[in-house]
Each structure stands twice: as structure tokens, then as C-alpha cells.
Structure 1
Amino acid sequence: MRNKNSLLLVLGSLSLLTLLVFILSLSLGDQQFNLSDTVRYLLGSGDSSLQFIMGEIRLPRLLVCLLAGASLGMSGVLLQTFSRNPLADSGTLGINAGAGVVITLAISQLEVTDPLYIRYLPFVAMLGGMLTVAVTYLISHQKGQAIRPVKIIISGVTLSAILSSSMIAITGRVNQNKLTYVVSWLAGKITGNNWESLAIAGPVLLLLWFLTYQRAYQLNILSLNDETALGLGLHLKRERLLLLLLASALVAFSLSLAGNIAFIGMLASHISKRFLPNDHRLLFPAAMLLGALIMTIADTITRAFLIGTAIPTGIIISIIGAPYFLYLLWQTQK
């Protein structure tokens, strides 16, 4: 699986599968269309009804799935490199909970409909996520000793539980309209499925993708033990700080669009490493494609097959991800 043709086959197959699922998902929903109708819309034709449903309802939502899923997949690679643990994810390290507390506080104090608030919410959420994962690292790391992956996971899960409990206390003081928004976000309901939110978060996520991929060489070195990385001239503290900043930013902007989504980073990163060598130049695109694919499939299930149940996308992903997490935990202990 290490030769060039095999690597290209894996990435090419993932790209083709993601494209096919995207087109199929665009066709499914309350009102189903033929694949020919979907292709016709993508080519710029079709009647007004088709144009409205595809252009104003489905396409923005699917673009959120692609952007958020890919970003969470990339963040999963970053966090697993940081912690050296296949169980690491934005949820297990507390980033989701940290961003959630900040978002809940912001919603309780500000107007949800204020355009200025919507514009700057992802940046505030990024700060909350970054602070949380930094605290997790400080709790679990002892000076002069190597990173203990299990200790990081335990610290992250514990801190996440504390922050999640604090969110319940905060929501007790929120009015009903804002409470509905908060609960929807916490359950993983896609909230940024409109062109305005995409126009704000989309360019930032694309920039973060570029900046993260530019660090692939340094991250390959960081994957080695600390002594080797130092011997090769890597500034460990600076690289880890940059890694935390990039991972927190990717997660925060994804969560501002897609709600409280967990497990995608862990799933996408771990599955990528099963089929590809430990080279971030390859792991990043593979994990991004897998993240986008998982997110799109989960959202399609909720839209097309669970109509009227009000089950959010995040619940479907948790149903998929939680058993896989337990399986990895069992394998790690074994």
C-alpha cells in the first residue's frame, strides 16, 4: 500500500465516492429529484422550483457538511499527532465543550439575529476551544516527561464533563427562544446552512486548510519522539502551540456552522492511518475527504430517511462514532 499508484488509488477513490454521495444527497430530501434533475441543476438549468430547492435549501447545507466534515477530519489528524493517541478528537480533548460554553454564554447575552454577533461568534468559540485544550495539556503533562496519551484523554474527558455541566447551569437562565437555539446546537443540528454564514466561515476555513497543510513537514517530525524532533531542529513548544491554534480554529469554525459534532475527527484520522503511511501530506487530504463523506452521509440519513423525527445530524454521527471509540479504547488497552 506504500507505492505511489496505490496511494493515488486510495485518494482518487475517496474523491470519487465523496462526489457521488454529494450528488446523491442533493437529490434526496422531502422532495426527491432524479439524478438527471440534479445534474441539470449543477449545469445551470432547471425550472424555478428546482433552482430554489437546490440553491437555497440543499446546496448550502451540503456545503456546510463538506466544509465542516473536512475541517473536523483535518483537526482529528492534528490532535492525534499532538496527543499521540488514536482516541484523540475535539470532543475527547474538550474543545467542543470549551467552544460550547463560550457559545452558550454569548447566546445568553447577545441577540441571535444580530449580524455582527454571527460574524464574530466563531472567533470567540475558537478562543474557548483553544483555552480548554491548553488546560487539558497542562493538567496531563509533567515537565521533563514524555506525553502520556491516556492521561491526556482522561483529562480531556473530565474537563469536558465539567464544562458540559456548567452549560446546563447557564441554559437555566436563558429565555425560551435562545434555549431552543442552544439545545439545537448542542445536539448537533446544522445551524449555518445559509449563504450568509458560509460567506463568513467558508473563506476562513479554506485559509486554515492551506496554513495547516503547509505544516505537514513539521508535523511529520513532531510525530517522532521529542528527543528526535529536537535533534532535527524542531521548536517543540512553538509547533505545539501552532498545532493547538490551528486545531482549535478548525473545530470552532466548523462547530459554528454544523453544531456540536463529535467523533468525525477521530474516525477520519484513524481510518486514514489504516490505509496510508504516516505522512501528513497524504493523511490530511484523506482525512478531509473521509470527514466530509461521513458528515454528508449522516446528514442525508436525517434529511431523507428520518423526516419528521427532528433527530439532528450530530446524533447520527454519535451513533456511528461511539461504538468505534469503544472499539479503539478496547484495542488500546489490549
Structure 2
Amino acid sequence: MQSNRKITLAIAIIVAMIFFTFFASLNMGYIRIAPIDVIQTLFGFGTEKDELVLFDFRLPRMVIALLIGAGLAVSGAILQAVSQNGLADPGILGINAGAGLAVVLFIYFYQGSSTSLGLDSIFLMPLAALLGGIFAAFLIYTIAWKKGVTPIRLILVGIGVNAAFGAALIIFQLRMDPRDFMQATIWLSGSIWGTNWKFVLAVLPWIFILIPYTIYKARYLNILNLGDQIATGLGAAVERERRLLLVLSVALAGSCVAVGGGIAFLGLVAPHLARRIVGPKHQAMLPTSALMGALLLLIADTIGRNLLAPSEIPVGIVVSAIGAPYFIYLLMKTN
């Protein structure tokens, strides 16, 4: 009972922090809006200028940040459980790179310019990213297979595939014209560039369907954490569940990469923080990871938008500045 109260209190605190950061971020930016004006605008009594800034630019971007943060965090939590390695992350293992390569190819061949995406292409981008992520995961799983898949082989092969896709991205970018090259570079560094409600609608179904389903499968993640032999002894179909969970992780990461670029380390840091707060059981850890990821990315996006305003720092760089030292810390703590 006391443990449940602790978990409920922790989640309530994180939700309160999200609401506070969200409201504070609405005030901040190159065009600052006073808190009272934000409230008036949200209730329909603001000026046309404030409505334009809030509803057409800031709100969709911030909602996307929340969705991407939650999706990448849960994707990372799945990978850490499936690989039985706390250093697993969709950005480190190459899933983000595979999804990113697919999206860049899609933009290049579909429209020829990343600034002229139509409504149909916006909704097809998450699908393209999913296919790219699945291809990357298929390569990783196939190469890592040797009478089964061991966690250490999965991690090592994933790092190698990540490097290969990174090289392919660079080669392909060199064939772009300078304008598309710069836009692709900024996007791949992790930039929430889809600042309208169409992009929100493109990623929303993926997050709202896949995260609850992942939470439903939490008991299998708990079992996989015990090791393959114990999981098999408990009656779990280890390889089947591992493949299904990998597909869920890839789908979440791919849909997030489609609108947020290659944001690394978020899927590593958020699950670790959630695990420290509520413990290792995935029934509580997964929703806490989603909330923590949403909070971290919202804070990172707010910093990126305001630190060097009117210029912006890609949110992926801000997250990496926070996540890279934590990754080194975890690496030093790991035996």
C-alpha cells in the first residue's frame, strides 16, 4: 500500500511539473506573452497576434514535444528490457538512424524538397520511418542471431548497424542540393520542425495506441528481465514476445523520428530516471518513463528555443548535452 502511494505521488509530481513547464513555455520565446495574456488567449479573449503565436506555432510544437518524449522514452524502456542491458536506446542501437534514413529518402524522392510536404506525405512519413526502423531492427536481429539472441550481441550489432546507417545518411546527404542538405542535417540532429497541427495528428495515433498496448504487455517485459532461461521456465514464448516487443519499440521510435528527427539519449535517460523513482516493475515504470520523457523533451525544447533566441538550438543537441554525460556515468557504473 505504501509503495502504491509512493508511485502515485511520484507520478502526480511529474504531471504537475509538466503542466508548470508547459505553461511557462507558452510565455517564453522570441515573442514573449505575459501569463495573463496567455490565459486570456487560451479562453478566446486574446489578440489576433497572440492567437497566431500560441495556436499556430507554440502549442502544436509543444504538444509534439510531449508526444515524442513519451514515445522515445517507452521505446527505450522496451529495448532495455528486451536486451537486458541498461545502456540500450533506439538512438544508440541504430533504429533511429534506420528510420531517419527512410524519412530522408522519402522526402528526397517524394517531393524533392523538405519544405513542400503535402498533407498526404505528412501522414505517410511515420509509415516510412516505421519501415526504415523495422529494416534496421531486422538487420540487427538477423546478424545478432546465433542459436538465439543474447543481449550483448544485440547491443554490439546494434552499435555497428547504427554506424553503417550513419555513413549511408552522410553519403546520401552529399547528393542533395545545399538547401536540402542543411535542412536534413538540422532535422537529423533532432529538430521538432513540424510546427503545425497536421504533424500532431500524424504522430498522435501511434503514441496513443502503442503506449497503452506496451503497458498491457508489461508483464512480459518483467519476465524477460529475469533472463531467457527463467522466462522460458515460466512458460513465456521468449522469442515471439521479444520480436513483438521489438516491433512496438521500432514503431514508437520510427513515428517519433518522422517528426522530431534523430533525438538520441532520451530513450536511455528517461527509463533510468523512472526506474529510480518507481522501481523496476514495468506496470509502473512504463507510464512513469512516458511522463519523464515528455517532461525532459519539453524542457529541452524550451531551452533550445530561448537560449540563443531568435536563433534556435535543435532540441536533439540539448538532449545530447544532458544525456551524453549520463550515458558516460552509466557506462562507468556498469560491470
Partner residue of 1:74? 74
Partner residue of 2:14? 14
Partner residue of 2:159? 157
* 1:285 has 2:279 as partner: no
* 1:135 has 2:139 as partner: yes
Q: Which runs of 4+ in 1 moved over 4 A?
A: none
Partner residue of 2:53? 53
- Corresponding letter in the other structure for 1:73: A
**TM-score normalized by the length of structure 1:** 0.94
Deviations 1:219-238 (A, max 9, x none): 22222221222222211122
Partner residue of 1:63? 63
Over 3 Å counting, the alpha-carbon distance change for 1:308 and 1:53 in structure 2 is closer
1:217 pairs with one of 213, 216, 219: 219
- Corresponding letter in the other structure for 2:75: S
- The 5-angstrom pairing of residues 1-334 of structure 1 reads 3-111=3-111, 112=114, 113-143=117-147, 147-149=150-152, 151-333=153-335
State how many pairs are aligned.
Answer: 331
Q: Are the aligned partners of 1:192 and 1:256 in contact in 2 as well (CA < 8 Å)?
A: no
Identical aligned residues as a percent: 36
Q: What's the CA shift for 1:141?
A: 4.1
Q: Are the aligned partners of 2:71 and 2:290 in contact in 1 as well (CA < 8 Å)?
A: yes
Q: Which sits farther off after the overlay, 312-321 or 196-205?
A: 196-205
- Unaligned runs of at least 5 residues, structure 2: none
Q: Which sits farther off after the overlay, 226-235 or 286-295?
A: 226-235
**How many Å separate the matches in 1 of 2:44 and 2:156?**
51
Q: Are the aligned partners of 1:193 and 1:257 in contact in 2 as well (CA < 8 Å)?
A: no
Q: Which sits farther off after the overlay, 29-38 or 83-92?
A: 29-38
Q: Which sits farther off after the overlay, 57-66 or 204-213?
A: 204-213
Q: Which sits farther off after the overlay, 253-262 or 227-236?
A: 227-236
Q: What's the CA shift for 1:314?
A: 0.8
- Unaligned runs of at least 5 residues, structure 1: none
Q: Are the aligned partners of 2:119 and 2:198 in contact in 1 as well (CA < 8 Å)?
A: no
**How many Å separate the matches in 2 of 1:43 and 1:220?**
44
